Amino acid sequence: MFSCLLGLLVLSSCKEDKTVEPLLFDEPGIDFVKVERDGVRDVVLISQMRPTREMYDNHFGYYECGVEYSTDSLFRRSVKVSFGHPESADYVTQNRLSDLYPDSVYYFKPILVKVDHLLAISWSQMDKRGNRYLTKTDEIICSGKVVTVSQTPFDVDEYASVSITKTAPMSISYTMEVVEYGFDNSVYSVWISDDSLFSDGVQVIEYKSYARVNETDLKTLNTSTDYYIRSCIGFKTGTDTTFYFGNTIKVRTEALPKKNGMEYVDLGLPVMWAFCNVDAVSPEEPGGYYCWGETEELTINGVRVETIDFINNRPTYSKYTDTDGKTTLDPADDVAAVKWGGPWHMPDQQDIADLWENSDHFTRVTINGKQVLKVVSKINGNYIYLPIGGYYGGGRYFDWPNAYIWSRTLRLINYDYGIAYMLGSNSSDGLSVGERSECVNIRPVFRP
């Protein structure tokens, strides 16, 4: 029995002393075992190093497996990344590269690197997965065979789709449904243009939240106009962003509603505002110039203003004086009511105050070469244009860069019936005043 145990001990000790010589090479080398796309933007790389005796004896402390990759087969636009030491006895390293472009062919070349460990490695030298970008002090010992991966089909609409839910004269409502928010360094947005090629006038709406469904109104659009909408995912790589687009949706805004044949805009206010001035054929045209209370252009009591001596006397008025005590125009003396009929009339003092208070104040834009003021409702995003029409005073024209619109209300101070309220875009509160003999433009309103 003792001899048997002694024999076992001898055998056991022999097994413990037996060592396996590692497979070493005369020259260092490295090659990819596997390179393949993983999802839309990632690539998995498995590399195997062929060590020499020197590398083995140094416990690989100065050696790392890395990769050089590029979208250019000549590697003129290449990036070198160090993956780190081999992680198994077979000298195999597995890593993942992210933030690649899905529609690009990539070329990968494994590299064996001798690194300078005296150099402190900062976070700025590493990507978010811990891969280190090589520095000038790192030495590439050798390279392996180049491996190619093809582009990945990428349908944006599978990840972020847009559907139209409502159209209006000046807005389009849509829903953007996001299936996956999992892409690294990505931006989700919707693009809109009145050009099917999206070459001009593109408006970008960016989503920074991670809600799965985003409902949005695209506002202040042109009426009766074709628009083109598409979803977009932008992938950021370094300082560059590459955009990928979904299918384009064509949608048309509605025409403006009409009252008595005239177009109007609902600004969310007590009255509806006409889209154009009286006597104008388009919103950028100023239209006619009227003295307050007159229904014929540039007249006072039927007399042309050019023939009145404004220097020596103030015009006499036959109505809206201290005799009748009226301070608001009758329909028969209201240009809007006379020319447009139905419920139309000139705005009163409160209508102008409401417009000013509930609008994003007047922004100058150019339509057909003419400057106008775009007045956008804070309530619903609808808008009107106010032509910059100047005014007539003392029988001559003043080309002032402001918009003026008569109200139908007199400003009665000290029993002076010669002053009326008007909208003045140069006023701090939107309300201005003028002599009844001054001639300005007319913008009708009506109360629904």
Of 252, 284, 312, the domain-final residue: 252
Of 134, 149, 164, the domain-final residue: 149
Dihedral sign for Cα atoms in the order 261, 267, 273, 276: negative
- Give me 412's structure tokens: 């009665």
Q: What pLDDT, on a 0 to 100 scale, did the predictor assign at position 7?
A: 40
Q: Are 234 and 189 in contact (CB under 8 A)?
A: yes
Taking the CB of residue 193, how many other CB atoms lie within 10 A of it?
17
Q: What pLDDT, on a 0 to 100 scale, did the predictor assign at position 6?
A: 35
Q: Are 245 and 231 in contact (CB under 8 A)?
A: yes
- Do residues 347 and 237 share a domain? no
Domain count, the chain: 3
Cα separations in angstroms, 173 against 165, 202, 221, 348, 409? 5, 17, 11, 33, 39
Contacts of residue 50, defined as CB under 8 A and 6 or more positions apart, other chains included, come to: 25, 27, 28, 29, 30, 31, 91
- For residue 24, is it within any domain? no
Which amino acid does the sequence have at 66? G
Which helix (H) or strand (E) element contains residue 14?
Answer: helix 2-17
Q: What pLDDT, on a 0 to 100 scale, did the predictor assign at position 189?
A: 87
- Give me 335's structure tokens: 């240009």
- For residue 270, is it within any domain? yes
3-state secondary structure of 241: strand
Cα separations in angstroms, 78 against 71, 73, 109, 152, 386? 8, 9, 10, 20, 56
CATH number assigned to the domain comprising residue 139? 2.60.40.10
Q: What pLDDT, on a 0 to 100 scale, did the predictor assign at position 310?
A: 85
Instruction: Give the C-alpha separation, 272 to 445, whole Å.
Output: 5
Q: What pLDDT, on a 0 to 100 scale, did the predictor assign at position 24?
A: 87
Which helix (H) or strand (E) element contains residue 139?
Answer: strand 139-143
- Do residues 123 and 160 share a domain? no
Task: Return the closest-CA partner of residue 447 out of 283, 266, 284.
Answer: 266
Of 209, 234, 252, the domain-final residue: 252
- Do residues 168 and 298 share a domain? no
Q: What pLDDT, on a 0 to 100 scale, did the predictor assign at position 429?
A: 85
- Do residues 265 and 226 share a domain? no
**One pLDDT digit (tens) per residue for the chain, 448 residues:** 334 333 433 334 444 445 566 788 999 999 999 999 998 889 999 999 999 988 888 776 778 899 999 999 999 989 899 888 776 678 899 888 988 888 899 999 999 998 876 444 554 556 656 677 888 888 899 999 999 999 988 899 998 889 999 999 999 999 988 876 667 678 888 999 998 988 876 777 776 666 678 888 888 999 999 999 999 988 887 778 888 999 999 999 999 999 999 999 999 999 999 999 999 999 999 999 999 999 999 999 889 998 888 887 788 888 999 999 999 999 999 999 999 999 999 999 999 999 999 998 678 999 999 999 999 999 999 999 999 999 999 889 999 999 999 999 999 887 788 999 999 998 888 899 999 999 999 999 999 9
Cα of 243 vs its chain's centroid, Å: 13
- For residue 5, is it within any domain? no
Instruction: Give the C-alpha separation, 263 to 274, whole Å.
Output: 6
Taking the CB of residue 388, how many other CB atoms lie within 10 A of it?
20
- For residue 413, is it within any domain? yes
- Do residues 204 and 292 share a domain? no
Q: What pLDDT, on a 0 to 100 scale, did the predictor assign at position 242?
A: 86
Print the domain residue range for 207. Answer: 156-252
